Structure 1
């Protein structure tokens, strides 16, 4: 599925309410003491808001990074049950609307988890499943680390992943989804302008 309008994307983001990541999603992490029988202690709706809010606070001028934080997990709703492919599904869906950079950051957020697992073992919150923290394929090899570090989006993908890991606080209010509509429209308009000049 490719998203062609902010309205479609907003509907999808609202549909994330009550949807949880599975407990054993490779590459995912959560804070100790959290969790439910459904998986992650925070539903995808609140997780998106928390992740985007953290990125807004830490990187107020990087609108595309904030938007990537908001949409990075929509693949769980687009293709329920395909947890290993959720990043690719989300990236493919948002590319026509939000552009290459947002899509690239969304696609790399799982690889960034593998990178952090290899580069900083024992970092952050406790792992969520038996395959965490490395994710699909395990922690990166030295060759994979070097290749990842040469990706022009690597640093921002790591920033997104760190916010992804931190944006899982049960009960934390991080605003309303509608508060992000204007920013989504701005990023979509910019992407359309850039696409028109290519």
Structure 2
């Protein structure tokens, strides 16, 4: 599945509300909607200028909705879904943040020599920290403008290539 616009992505993110997952830690199930918002909020605090990293934190959960009940492959599915809308960097970060090694994403493809590796590790750390029930991380609507900006920037850069 390839997302065609910010509205479609927002709808998918809204659909995460109430979907629960134990993702990798095997602990208490977390609401994917809350988890996405918490991950993005943690990244906004630690890297305020890096909108693509923040957006990667927000959208990294969508693969679980696209293939519910499947234990693996969610990061790749989410990465593929957002690539044409949000660009190669966001897609690469989403894909790399969930590699098999527990604390170090294994670089593959264009990221092998490092352009996404450090940021993917930062995303993974935020992902693992964003599991606090009841933490106020804002509302999804707060991210519409950021998603639109990242999408528009990608569209402009893609047109130049």
Normalising by structure 2, report the TM-score. Answer: 0.92
For 1:92, the equivalent position in structure 2 comes to 80
Q: Please give the alpha-carbon distance, in whole angstroms, between the structure 2 residues aligned to 1:97 and 1:11.
A: 14
More helix by share: 2
TM-superposed CA distance for 1:150, in Å, is: 2.9
Q: Please give the alpha-carbon distance, in whole angstroms, between the structure 1 residues aligned to 2:113 and 2:84.
A: 25
Unpaired runs of 5+ in structure 2?
Answer: none
Counterpart of 2:128 in 1: which secondary structure? helix
For 1:58, the equivalent position in structure 2 comes to 46
For 1:169, the equivalent position in structure 2 comes to 132
TM-superposed CA distance for 1:73, in Å, is: 1.3
Q: Please give the alpha-carbon distance, in whole angstroms, between the structure 2 residues aligned to 1:8 and 1:83.
A: 24
Equivalent residues in 2 for 1:1-198 (5 A)? 1-21=1-21, 23=22, 25=23, 28-29=24-25, 35=28, 40=29, 42-111=30-99, 114=101, 116=103, 150-198=113-161
Q: Please give the alpha-carbon distance, in whole angstroms, between the structure 2 residues aligned to 1:72 and 1:110.
A: 9
**Coordinate RMSD, CA, aligned:** 2.0
Q: 1:29 to 1:115 in 2, by over 3 A?
A: closer
Q: Please give the alpha-carbon distance, in whole angstroms, between the structure 2 residues aligned to 1:83 and 1:7.
A: 27
Q: Please give the alpha-carbon distance, in whole angstroms, between the structure 2 residues aligned to 1:2 and 1:180.
A: 20
Q: Give deviations 1:86-132, integer Å, cap 9, x for gaps.
A: 00110000001000000000000112x6151xx6xxxxxxxxxxxxx
Q: Give deviations 1:148-184, integer Å, cap 9, x for gaps.
A: 8733210000000000000000111100000000000
For 1:130, the equivalent position in structure 2 comes to none
Unpaired runs of 5+ in structure 1?
Answer: 120-139
Counterpart of 1:114 in 2: which secondary structure? coil
For 1:133, the equivalent position in structure 2 comes to none
Counterpart of 2:2 in 1: which secondary structure? coil
Which portions of structure 1, spanning 4 or more consecutive aligned residues, are displaced by more than 6 angstroms? Answer: none
Normalising by structure 1, report the TM-score. Answer: 0.75
For 1:126, the equivalent position in structure 2 comes to none
Q: Give deviations 1:6-32, integer Å, cap 9, x for gaps.
A: 0000000000001111x4x4xx227xx
